[in-house]
A and B are shown apart, each in its own frame.
Chain A
Amino acid sequence: MTAAHAHAGDAAENPAIYGLMAEFDAPEEVLRAARAAKAGGYTEFDTYTPFPVEGLDETFPGLSNYVGPTTFAGGLLGGLGGFLFMCWSAMIYYPHNIAGKPLYSWPAFIPITFELTVLGGSLAAVFGMLAYNGFPRPYHPVFNAPGFDLASDDRFFLCVQSEDPNFDPAATLAFLEGLGPRSVSVVPY
């Protein structure tokens, strides 16, 4: 803990830091920490975990997740666009009598409409998710935190950002240390 204190001491002198990062051993601990951070009035904090931890979603104030509506819009665009394109092509652009079938033979258009619905929805889901998450973003300040490479292995992190209106180097440090972390460190920019 003394090492962490020394780091945090630097933070107090230099406010130009990204935030304070607490490191935990287990998903339950980081979940408890995130709930405490929410209860403590922090808004700009995030957790970094090697797998999705159940219950964390509810702890983020103002978490926006528009992946669902985006997927719906993509699917609608793909399906409707495909269907109308086929109708236009068969009825207006090149009307042609093939084996006496009606020009507007909508049942025959359904398989492609279905495929394009799925295609549009999937593209929207993936690229929407990536865009909302701000990817690609190869560099991020949290990668500077010591031991952060274990966030993709077996450690669980919680970072309170300096942007948070309630952020105070000393008070936030004390708050994080009160959560019983393995260590607390400063995340420089």
Chain B
Amino acid sequence: MAETHDRGGGEPPVIAPGHSYATVTATIADVVLKRPLDWRWFVGMGAGTSLIMLLGAAVSLLLFKGVGIWGINAPVMWGWAIVNFVWWIGIGHAGTLISAILYLLKQQWRTSINRFTEAMTLFAVMCAGMFPLLHMGRPWKFWWLFPYPATMDLLPQWRSPLVWDVFAVSTYFTVSLLFWYVGLIPDLATLRDRAGNTFLAKVYGSLALGWRGSGRHWARYKTAYMLLAAMATPLVVSVHSVVSLDFTAGIIPGWHSTVFPPFFVAGAIFSGFAMVLTLCIPLRSWYGLKDFITLKHLDYMSRVLLATGMIVGYGYASETFVAWYGGNPFERHALLHARPWGSFRHAYWMMIFCNVMVPQLLWSPAIRRNPMVLWIISIFVNIGMWLERYVIVVTSLSEDFLPSSWAYFTPTFWDVAVFLGTIGFFVFCLFLFVRSLPAIAMAEMRELVHETGHHGHAAQAHGETP
């Protein structure tokens, strides 16, 4: 529907014309309550759960034998685990950006994509959280990272970025969960009222906590939501900055750089928006949500992708320039030789291709509004951003200061298995989410219908279509 309107010329709308409060509710709630299962859901869920079984096997073997089953070695001690950790947590950042920052900026186009991108954030942070735990070697002692009254009388080392990271990531997960849940409360009430059977009504009713849309409740709700958005905004910037400090606080060549915090945050948003596009293009098509996630949304997300991609490209250029200009021979070796011309040069040039060159296609408005091409570009960016972290982690560690300690890095089957396993877990969570909770915020969409004034002018809007 949205597509046909756009060909009439002009800007695509933020919500397709002709929608009323009731049609918004019905379209979104019916995906959960009425729609029969179809083969696509089974294929997706089947793929997800199969990979979860692979994850189970890989983690079991890891617990049994230790991190030696991975490809990590003496200089390259971080390997895929940390690459995957940074990749996943970066993906989460787009969800918070859309839900919090665009909310504070009163961007109407955020409304139809915030719910499922917040879900994406939660699932991505869960996947991210697995890697440092598994990488510890003895994950069953993870609680040593938190301050607790220990028999050993020890508390964490507060000056270490790795401890900051524990607090940053766990706070990020908690706040994202709270933000997501608060947004869900009115929609859970809608599902309760439409459930049609007592069991579902009780489940959704319990989760809705008894929400009844009271005006006095809305007043406090809006304040809480706005304050959460205001707190989540600096939080999301802090999280990836702290992640980058894990690197910069080390003296490894290629890591010890002040550009890292902003460079990492831009990269996180870049990769996150790519993942949002990867997910929402099939979602809007499979579940009949093209009226709500219109070409305008795809266009705007592509613009964010283009802008953050250029920042990331600037980051690469600036790293290279500073390595040359700074005169530190180890930095020079890492950035001017090891990365572009060394053992891992293929990863480096593939990264440049995916992150800097491919997004340049987005200058074309026709491409920004072509879902199929956008989806392919988003896959390139996902791969490129994974490679970026691979280049940062592996090249720097593999060739640090002393050539006699250098070693090449090769991942093993189990590195790949754990990574694919977390992708399976992510897919599993998303497919579960789409069929059990509203993927678009209904209350906010009704508000959008009210604001954009489509309500009550349905017939007129239909009449205008070419």
A: residues with CB less than 8 A from B are 26-27, 34, 46-53, 56-57, 59-60, 63, 65, 67-68, 71, 75, 85-86, 89-90, 93-94, 98, 101, 105, 108-109, 111-112, 114-116, 118-119, 121-123, 125-126, 128-130, 132-133, 135-140, 142-143, 148-154
Is A118 within 8 A of B224, CB to CB?
Answer: no
User: For residue A139, which residues in chain B have a CB less than 8 angstroms away from its CB?
Assistant: 210
Closest CB of chain B to A58's CB: distance in Å? 10
User: For residue A53, which residues in chain B have a CB less than 8 angstroms away from its CB?
Assistant: 215, 218
8 Å CB contact of B209 from A67, A68, A135: A135
Chain B at the A interface: mostly helix, strand, loop or mixed? Answer: helix
Known: A53-B218, A121-B227. 10 other contacts (CB 8 A): A47-B214, A49-B213, A51-B21, A51-B450, A67-B220, A75-B231, A114-B238, A115-B168, A133-B216, A153-B21
8 Å CB contact of B155 from A93, A126, A140, A148: A93
Closest CB of chain B to A69's CB: distance in Å? 10
Chain A at the B interface: mostly helix, strand, loop or mixed? Answer: helix
Is B223 within 8 A of A65, CB to CB?
Answer: yes
27 chain-A/chain-B pairs, Cβ below 8 angstroms: A27-B450, A50-B25, A50-B186, A52-B222, A56-B218, A89-B155, A93-B155, A94-B153, A94-B155, A108-B158, A112-B158, A115-B171, A118-B234, A119-B174, A121-B231, A125-B224, A126-B181, A129-B182, A129-B221, A132-B220, A135-B210, A136-B206, A138-B206, A140-B210, A152-B189, A152-B190, A153-B25
Q: Most chain-A Cβ atoms within 10 A of its Cβ — which of B171, B234, B238?
A: B171
Decide yes or no: A154 and B21 within 8 Å by CB, A94-B154, A112-B164 being known contacts.
Answer: yes
B: residues with CB less than 8 A from A are 20-22, 25, 147, 153-155, 157-159, 161, 163-164, 167-168, 171, 174-175, 178-179, 181-182, 186, 189-190, 192-194, 205-206, 209-224, 227-228, 231-232, 234-235, 238, 242, 245, 443-444, 446-447, 450, 455-456
Is B167 within 8 A of A60, CB to CB?
Answer: no
Cα separation A114 to B239 with both chains bound (whole Å)? 11
